[in-house]
């Protein structure tokens, strides 16, 4: 009953977080209708304030939340792992991520929802009858993180696969009924609150475009390499920046966050506001074939996401990465002279996400469930596998590497804000 109650709470929290994020983005759109100059003031000041609040009161809430969850699952997580599982950390994550969206950050809520789910389910650990204390604790953290993915995307199968492929390396925890129970109940509660839906609707793809073609290889190679390079750049820049930028991040983190905000505002101005927010609306517009985004959209969105992440604010990567992938797919469809960009956008989302995360099964299942394109399983499978293989040639795994750095950082500091030179 405790597990059921906690899983239901994950579903409620995921829906509430989604509504809060939508409200924040609606507020930004209203401000942009008043004046296109708002981001030049709101984004730098907002990033600075959020970064200060995060480092001062909610340390551990920075970034996406998935590396923190992975680190907390490890047996040697110690004090740092316990810090990441404090309720105040995820409360700050939810509120500050919503503020980041209001300020124009290119951030997602799905990664943070993984962290939220892990903390909620872990919260019942002390009352659950258990024999092996540590094993039970890790099983609950794993179950909560998987439930967060399932409830955030309405993709129960992807939640289970995510737990297997990304969060856990232990077979016993992979097979745990605890994870299955949490995923199912969190998904049921989320559906009960908002109705059964497909995250990106049900894009129309002609039957002849669902087959494996040479274009699939082009998308897989391009998006896999793009995701790998962006992952490598993200890891390199979170570790150390060149020259005065590193000094600013270490000695003047609030000012550094403001400068990142200026960069995000600049990218938004150059792209007509397309790079603000999660990127969900832009990706869906491509999939519904009622918008044609400029070729600069995908690299600009990737750059805005990187700047948002580097600023030190709570910033998920999953939703913006899917939007970048859709943009790359549309660009490749145009370059190849394709009449419809929709199937290429779907493949681009899968390939780029696989390149970023190096989790091919999760990328395949999550895109297939989000777009209801089960008939495209073969090209999606090839895209995910090839993109992952190519990404591994240029970058180590993003989330696992970021989690490793928490183990090397002092408990009172985060890798992004640490003054210790690595």
CATH number for the domain that contains residue 325? 1.10.3080.10
Q: pLDDT at position 421, please?
A: 33
Side-chain-side CA neighbours of 316 within 13 Å: the count stands at 34
Contact 235, 228 (CB under 8 A): no
Q: How far apart are CA 7 and CA 179, in angstroms?
A: 10
201-215 per-position pLDDT tens digit: 667 675 555 666 788
Same domain? 73 vs 136: yes
Residue closest to 165 by CA, chosen among 406, 364, 317: 364
Q: According to the model, what pLDDT value does residue 183 have?
A: 73
Same domain flag for 247 and 337: yes
* Structural domain range at position 92: 2-194
pLDDT of the residue at 142:
81
Average pLDDT for the chain:
85
Question: Residue 146 has what pLDDT?
Answer: 83
Cα–chain center distance at 386:
21
Q: Do 93 and 190 have their domain in common? A: yes
Which DSSP state fits 7?
Answer: H
Confidence of residue 340 (pLDDT cuts 50, 70, 90): confident
Total H helices, total E strands in the chain: 20, 0
Please report the pLDDT score of residue 162 as a whole number: 82
Q: Is 131's pLDDT higher than 50?
A: no
Determine how many CB atoms are found less than 10 A away from the CB of residue 380.
Answer: 29
Domain limit, last residue, from 160, 194, 228: 194
Residues 235, 92: one domain? Answer: no
pLDDT (mean) for 329-333: 94
Residues 17 and 114 in one domain: yes
Regarding whether 231 and 271 lie in a shared domain, the answer is yes
Q: Is the per-residue pLDDT at 166 higher than 70? A: yes
**In terms of domains, do 178 and 255 share one?**
no
Q: Rounded CA gap, 11 and 186, in Å?
A: 4
Which is higher by pLDDT, 289 or 400? 400
pLDDT in tens, 60-94: 889 898 999 889 888 788 888 888 889 899 899 99
**Could you tell me if 91 and 184 lie in one domain?**
yes
Q: Which of residues 186 and 248 earns the better pLDDT score?
A: 248
- Does residue 350 lie in a domain region? yes
Least confident of 162-166, 181-185, 234-238, 264-268: 181-185
More confident residue, 111 or 54: 54
Scan for tokens 């989690």, then name that residue. 403
**pLDDT confidence bin for 229, thresholds 50/70/90:** very high
How much is the average pLDDT of 297-326? 95
- Token match 């009449």: residue? 339
Last residue of a domain, one of 169, 194, 219: 194
pLDDT-derived band of residue 419, with 50, 70 and 90 as boundaries? very low
Looking at the structure, tell me whether residues 224 and 172 fall in a common domain.
no
% pLDDT > 90, the chain: 50
Length of the chain: 422
Confidence at residue 269, expressed as pLDDT on a 0 to 100 scale: 94
- State the residue for tokens 């240029």: 394
In a domain, 311, yes or no: yes
The answer to the question of residue 173 being in a domain is yes
User: What integer pLDDT is reported at residue 196 of this predicted model?
Assistant: 63
**In which band, very low, low, confident or very high, does the pLDDT at 410 lie, cut at 50, 70 and 90?**
low
End residue of a domain, out of 135, 168, 194: 194
Radius of gyration (C-alpha) of the chain in whole angstroms: 20
Q: Is residue 416 part of a domain?
A: no
Coil, strand or helix at 316 = strand
Confidence at residue 357, expressed as pLDDT on a 0 to 100 scale: 93
Question: Cα separation of 391 and 228, whole Å?
Answer: 4
Min mean pLDDT across 5-14, 203-212, 259-268, 411-420 is at 411-420
Number of domains comprising the chain: 2
**Spatial contact of 217 and 36, defined as CB atoms under 8 Å apart:** no
State the pLDDT at residue 24. 95
Q: How confident is the model at residue 418 (pLDDT cuts 50, 70, 90)?
A: very low
In a domain, 45, yes or no: yes
Mean pLDDT of 119-140: 73
Same domain, yes or no, for 93 and 235?
no
Residue 150 covered by a domain: yes
Is residue 330 situated within a structural domain? yes
Residue with more model confidence, 10 or 140: 10
User: How confident is the model over 257-299, as pLDDT tens digits?
Assistant: 999 999 999 999 999 999 999 999 999 999 887 778 999 999 9
Same domain, 185 and 215: no
Extract the tokens encoding 318.
């999953």
Indicate the range of 123-127, 251-255, 315-319, 347-351 predicted with least confidence. Answer: 123-127
Task: Please indicate, yes or no, whether residues 174 and 215 belong to a single structural domain of this protein.
Answer: no
Asked whether residue 199 is assigned to any structural domain, the reply reads no
In tens, the pLDDT along 86-118 reads: 989 989 999 999 999 999 999 998 888 999 988
Q: Is the pLDDT of residue 219 over 60?
A: yes
pLDDT single digits (tens) 24-48? 999 999 999 999 899 999 999 999 9
């Amino acid at each position: 009953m405790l597990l059921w109650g906690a899983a239901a709470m994950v579903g409620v929290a995921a829906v509430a977080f989604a509504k809060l994020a939508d409200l924040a983005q609606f507020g930004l759109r209203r401000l942009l209708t008043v004046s296109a100059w708002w981001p030049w003031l709101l984004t730098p000041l907002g990033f600075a304030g959020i970064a200060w609040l995060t480092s001062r009161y909610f340390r551990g809430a920075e970034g996406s939340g998935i590396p923190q969850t992975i680190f907390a699952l490890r047996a040697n997580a110690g004090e740092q792992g316990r810090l990441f599982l404090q309720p105040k950390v995820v409360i700050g994550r939810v509120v500050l991520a919503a503020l980041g969206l209001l300020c124009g950050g290119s951030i997602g809520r799905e990664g943070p929802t993984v962290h939220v789910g892990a903390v909620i389910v872990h919260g019942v650990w002390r009352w659950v009858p258990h024999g092996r204390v540590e094993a039970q604790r890790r099983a609950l953290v794993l179950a909560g993180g998987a439930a967060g993915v399932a409830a955030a995307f309405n993709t129960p199968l992807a939640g289970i696969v995510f737990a297997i492929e990304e969060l856990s390396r232990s077979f016993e925890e992979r097979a745990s009924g605890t994870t299955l129970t949490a995923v199912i109940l969190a998904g049921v509660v989320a559906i009960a609150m908002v109705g059964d839906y497909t995250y990106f609707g049900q894009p129309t793809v002609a039957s002849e475009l669902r087959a494996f073609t040479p274009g699939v290889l082009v998308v897989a190679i391009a998006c896999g390499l793009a995701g790998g390079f962006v992952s490598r750049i993200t890891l390199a820049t979170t570790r150390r920046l060149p020259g005065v930028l590193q000094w600013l991040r270490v000695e003047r983190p609030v000012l550094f966050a403001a400068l990142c905000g200026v960069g995000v505002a600049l990218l938004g101005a150059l792209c007509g506001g397309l790079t603000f927010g999660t990127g969900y609306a832009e990706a869906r517009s491509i999939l519904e074939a009622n918008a044609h985004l400029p070729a600069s959209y995908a690299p600009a969105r990737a750059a805005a996401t990187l700047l948002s992440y580097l600023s030190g604010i709570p910033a998920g990567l999953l939703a913006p990465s899917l939007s970048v992938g859709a943009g790359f797919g549309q660009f490749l469809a145009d370059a190849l002279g394709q009449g419809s960009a929709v199937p290429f956008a779907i493949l681009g989302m899968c390939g780029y996400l696989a390149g970023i995360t190096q989790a091919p099964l999760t990328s395949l299942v999550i895109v297939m469930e989000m777009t209801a394109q089960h008939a495209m399983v073969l090209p999606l499978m090839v895209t995910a596998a090839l993109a992952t293989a190519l990404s591994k040639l240029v970058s180590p795994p993003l989330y696992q590497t970021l989690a490793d750095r928490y183990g090397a950082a002092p408990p009172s500091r985060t890798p992004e804000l640490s003054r210790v030179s690595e």
